Amino acid sequence: MNLISWMHKRKEPPKITWWTYPEYNGLLYKLPPVPAMKHFPKIFKDMPKNNPLNGFFPTARRCPAFVDLYKHMYVLPMWCDVSLTYEGAETGKCQWETPNIDIFNLDIHGNQQFIDFLPESKKDWHMVWKFNSPWLLKTPKGYSVLQLPLTYEFNPDFEVMSGVIDTDIHHQLTIPIVQKRLGNIEIKRGTPLCMYLPFKRDKFELEVVLETQELWVDKMKNYWNMVTAFGSKKSQPNPYREAQKERDKNSKEKE
C-alpha cells in the first residue's frame, strides 16, 4: 500500500471543536479550553509516589486510573473575574458583579428548582447560578460530552453541577454553578471552572452472569496488570500500560 492510499484509508480521530465570537478573539489566545493534563490536581502533584512511612507501597499518584482520567478530558477556564453574593434564603439577597460585563452574563436557578429538594447532608449547597459561556462546543455526530466539576480540587466556594450535553446538536454551554458558602465568593479570570469528557453514545445490553472460565482468565490478567503496574520500576515495562498499547495497536490494525 502506497502512502497516498494509506492516508485515504486511515481513520481520522473524532474532532472536538471549541469556538467563540469574533468580538471575544482575545479569549482564543489567552484563555482557551485546554487538555485537562494542564490542570492536573495539585493534591497529586504534591503527593509522593511512595508512602513515606513505607517506601514499598505506592500512593494514589501512581495509580493509572487517576492519570488517565485527565488524559481524556478538557478544562474550561473562567473567562473573566466575577463576584457572587448570596446572603441566604432569609434575606434572599443575591447579586453579581464583573468588570467584564460585555462577555459575562448569568441567570439565577431558583431554589425551588433544585436547592429546596436537597437532603440535610448538603447544607453547604446554598445557591445555583447559571453562567452563560462565551464558548460554544461541537462534537461529531453521535458524540456528547459529560460536564463535570474539577475533580480532586475540593473547592470550598463553588462546584459545577454534572450533566450530559449532546453537543452534536446543541453547542451553547450553560454552566450551573453551586455556591457552597453564604456571603461573597470570587472566581478569578483563568480559574479552572469545569471539565468536559467527550464520549460516543452507544446502547449497551446489560448482562449479569456467573463467572466463566473466559471471565476468570480476564480477571487474572487484570489482577496481574494492576499489581505490576503499581510495583514497576523505570527499568521495567509497566504491564498495564503495555496492555493498553497492545489494545490500541490491535484496534488500529483492524481499521
Summarised one tens digit per residue, pLDDT across range 101-113 is 988 999 988 888 9
Number of Cβ within a 10 Å radius of residue 249: 10
Q: Which residues contact 47 (CB under 8 A, 6 or more apart)?
A: 59, 60, 61
153, 195: one domain: yes
Summarised one tens digit per residue, pLDDT across range 164-180 is 999 999 999 999 999 99
| Residue 167 maps to a domain | yes
| Residue 250 maps to a domain | yes
pTM score of the predicted model: 0.82
Name the grid cell of 44. Answer: 497529586
195, 231: one domain: no
What's residue 235's pLDDT? 46
Full residue range of the structural domain in which residue 248 is found:
213-254
Long-range pairs, 121-126, Cβ under 8 A, ≥24: 124/180, 124/181, 125/159, 125/178, 125/179, 125/180, 126/86, 126/88, 126/178, 126/179, 126/180, 126/181, 126/182
50, 129: one domain: yes
| Residue 11 maps to a domain | no
The DSSP secondary-structure symbol of 25 reads H
- Alpha-carbon dihedral of residues 24, 25, 29, 32, nearest 10 degrees? 50
Summarised one tens digit per residue, pLDDT across range 48-96 is 888 877 766 778 887 888 888 899 999 999 999 999 999 987 887 899 9
86, 182: one domain: yes
| Residue 206 maps to a domain | no
246, 150: one domain: no
156, 226: one domain: no
| Residue 172 maps to a domain | yes
195, 78: one domain: yes
| Residue 238 maps to a domain | yes
191, 218: one domain: no
